[in-house]
Structure 1
């Protein structure tokens, strides 16, 4: 198959096209002369049908009109309606992911991908792989998700950069969830700089990238960069019509407002996102709004409301079988439970996440009777581990350390703090590392190990020395508004 002038489609070879012309002409009962005239000769049609010549674009148009097909169908054997039908089914698959479980939507995207390969439709194949990558992110299959997004970028390598931005965002999300925060920032910042340097000031693509960069910035403790990205996203919002993009922007902006102590504004921003997600029936994103509102209430000391919102998020994510996100919510719910004096329930949530066993459903049994959690199968593989939710692994160890301290077991507390430290350091979660070093230093000082305590404090201070920055160099240049 080769490239030709039919819209960049891949064409079959001369022999295949010739046999197709012969078959269609015979089915219609046309002679070679009737097919050829007035623009061509019967001898030309005979030569073409024998596969000895490749038809020009003009010849394809003439023959296709006589044979009652499109030039593309004549050159590729692909019915003109096929791409449109695949796009309709892609919409159905995306709806299945939005409202149901990723394991149910993934086979739909895989089947569409296979059909797109069979019929040489690279654009539709890229869209199917993008949807499959989102399914794999939700279910926690981060390596496979990363490969899907990388495949999309390779397929679209010759397309304008805005077309590749959703795949870049997906790959950055996969790296962030594995704990590679700096690399996630690098991917997003590089794409932003390329968009601005080449003059491709696509508002949708820019908004998607700025909104996506907020989470890894905030996880790293780079609050100033996160706030700057939020400001640029808000400035772009009036030029964007896609409600899903706007909802994601409001959700990202809320994280920066929380860090600034602007709790009421953060809650209002989340309310806007939640309303848009409800209209769009995007259940995973809606669950994330409940998750973040729980975090907002926890930051404001409204622990009962925080617990309610986190349980709602957990129930929705468990029903969707979005395993990794449900497990991360369990860590944050455990923090609220501990602060409410329910240390036993918190520990019951956390230990299976780190040691294997019952996961992604324990929140229902550990909480109030109104919860609707499900019990997952037992497994020897920890649900959260290095390379899969690394920041939340560190958070879970930190919480178990606090619980051990409160129960009078400093040795167990120190073990958990030291287990968390390298995970958070590798992820580049500077704020969390500093907090953990403070906890470890206090513990060491109380147990009489002053020099070791000072070392822990120094480590924490080193991570707080450059508040609001990353090691990536200058922030991306803002787009001309």
Structure 2
């Protein structure tokens, strides 16, 4: 299609417009002369219907008025108000994703995507594909999620960068969930740098990126970078009107506060996020708040409250048919159960999670490693050192691909202690040295320079 002078409407090619005029004129029983008068001639209409002339905006307005349709309908073939109706239905699909099931929402998004593509409504098509990516994240189909988000970026390639930021964040999240922490960081950091270099101080886009990068930073052991990203996000929050973005920021910031031992502040930050998600009726994110609060209580030693919050999160996510997030919560719940002396229940919960359809190298590698670590601890507690060693080695194999420095250092310590107790001193020393290498490299040797603060930000 070519850009015509119709106030931003992307008009069809002359041949398409000509065929449309001919069809509508015939349907209404008008002659070429009747359609043309009083401003134009029958010869002009004949030439236009043959696709030999591109009509001006003035001509299109005249013809649309004579045919009793809108300018947009004549220029593009789209029914009047279609874009507005599609946007309303996209909003409804988002509501279904927030409060219902991802599979139901995906059905709606697929239909809306096809309809938008059929009428060349690129922005609405991109919104539908973004929704499909979010549905795929929730159902744990990480490959499909990455593909959908990459398609959004292609559809919006000619749009300003802030329009593509939600898709970049989605793609980074898919890589993070697959255990590709460094690449997730790269995507987010490079986009922040590109925004800042272009002077695009878009608070919503920057808040989304700084909040999203906290999780991979924390998993890689780059705690100082995570804290700085949280600081930047907090500074941007007053400029953002989107309550869902602000709630996500509070949830992300809570994780840095936990790492700093500021438990009460972390709990308060999660309470703010939870309140916003309840007002917005976003059940998946609300479940994530219960999940994080369970983690906070576990860190603070209140295992009874931790178990309660994690069970609530698991039940909410299971009811939403979000299998990947559900099994990740179950790993953390199993840790709490083991610490509460319920090792058998924890083991029963963990073993089904290690099937390829639940967790694995390409689907939640960090939590799969965590499940093996817990099973190793449980095996050690019943003096089954052979099984414990197998689980620790399996966990190391998974986590080495992710760069999760803190988890790797802890596993090397556990494996080293086990090897030392069984008389394999040299192997134990090797494990300890490997662990020290991970502990000594909290992300700074694997990442490039930290992204710069926005030009208008002041510490």
What interval of TM-score do these two structures reach, taking the shorter chain for normalisation? over 0.9
Shift of 1:168: 0.3
1:326-384: CA deviation from partner (whole Å, max 9, x where unpaired): 00000000000000000000000111111x3xxxxxxxxxxxxxxxxxxxxxxxx4410
Deviations 1:104-161 (A, max 9, x none): 1111111111111111111111100101111110111000111000000000001000
The aligned residue for residue 13 of structure 2 is 13
State the distance in 1 between where 2:52 and 2:273 align. Answer: 61
Gaps of 5+ in 1: 357-380
Query: Which residue pairs with 2:401 in the alignment?
Result: 426
Tell me the matched-pair count: 456
Root-mean-square deviation (CA), in Å?
A: 1.5
Asked if the contact 2:405/2:443 (under 8 Å) is kept, the reply is no
| 1:334 equivalenced with 2:309 (yes/no) | no
> Which deviates the most, 462-471 or 116-125?
462-471
Q: What residue in structure 2 maps to residue 60 of structure 1?
A: 60
Secondary structure of 1:308's counterpart equals helix
- 2:381 corresponding residue in structure 1: 406
Residues 179 and 389, structure 1, Cα contact 8 Å, conserved in 2: yes
How many Å separate the matches in 2 of 1:450 and 1:107?
58
- Which residue of 2 is the match for residue 286 of structure 1? 286
Partner of residue 117, structure 2: 117
Paired residues of 1:352 and 1:382 also in contact (CA < 8 A): no
The separation in 1 between residues aligned to 2:375 and 2:249, in whole angstroms, is 33
Matched position secondary structure for 2:81: helix
Deviation readout 1:206-236 (Å, 9 max, x if unpaired): 0011111111111111111110000000000
- Aligned residue number for residue 162 of structure 1: 162
Alpha-carbon offset, residue 467 of structure 1: 3.0
In structure 2, what is the Cα distance between the partners aligned to 1:411 and 1:157? Answer: 54
Structure 2 equivalent of residue 4 of structure 1: 4
CA–CA distance in structure 2, aligned partners of residues 7 and 132 of structure 1: 31
Structure 2 counterpart SS, 1:53: coil
Whether 1:467 aligns to 2:442 is yes
* Matched position secondary structure for 1:295: helix
User: How far apart are the structure 1 equivalents of 2:375 and 2:5?
Assistant: 64
Residues 178-209 of structure 1 deviation map (CA, whole Å, 9 limit, x = unaligned): 00000000000011001000011110000011
Determine if contact 1:60/1:71 at 8 Å carries over to the other structure.
yes
The corresponding residue for 1:201 is 201
Superposition deviation, residue 448 in structure 1: 1.0
Secondary structure, aligned partner of 1:143: helix
The 5 Å alignment of 1:22-41 reads 22-28=22-28, 30-41=30-41
Task: Report matched runs for 1:310-329 at 5 Å.
Answer: 310-329=310-329
Would you say 1:436 and 2:421 are equivalent positions?
no
- C-alpha separation in 2, matches of 1:93 and 1:70: 28
Residues 224 and 469, structure 1, Cα contact 8 Å, conserved in 2 = no
Q: Aligned partners of 1:66 and 1:238: how far apart in 2?
A: 51
TM-score w.r.t. structure 2 length?
0.96
- Match of residue 184 from structure 2: 184
Contact kept? 1:258, 1:296, Cα under 8 Å: yes
What residue in structure 2 maps to residue 303 of structure 1? 303
Tell me, in whole angstroms, the C-alpha distance in 2 between the residues paired with 1:9 and 1:144: 32
Which has the higher mean CA deviation after the structures are superposed, 181-190 or 15-24? 15-24
Q: Write the deviation string for residues 45-67 of structure 1: whole angstroms up to 9, x where unpaired.
A: 12112322221333223322333
Q: Say which SS state the counterpart of residue 95 (structure 1) adopts.
A: helix
Conserved? CA contact 1:214–1:229, under 8 Å: yes
Alpha-carbon distance in structure 2 between the residues aligned to 1:229 and 1:194: 16
* CA displacement at 1:34 relative to structure 2: 4.4
Give the deviation of 1:14 after TM superposition: 2.5
Contact 1:225–1:469, Cα closer than 8 Å, also in 2: no
Measured after TM superposition, the shift of residue 266 of structure 1 is 0.1
Kept after mapping to 2: 8 A contact 1:384/1:390: yes
How far apart are residue 72 of structure 1 and its match?
Answer: 2.1
3-state secondary structure, aligned to 1:120: coil
- Per the normalisation by structure 1, the TM-score is 0.92
Alignment partners' CA distance in 1, 2:215 and 2:262? 17
Shift of 1:28: 4.6
Aligned CA distance change for structure 1 residues 292 and 178 (closer, same or farther; 3 Å): same
Gaps of 5+ in 2: none
* Superposition map of 1:374-413 within 5 A: 381-413=356-388
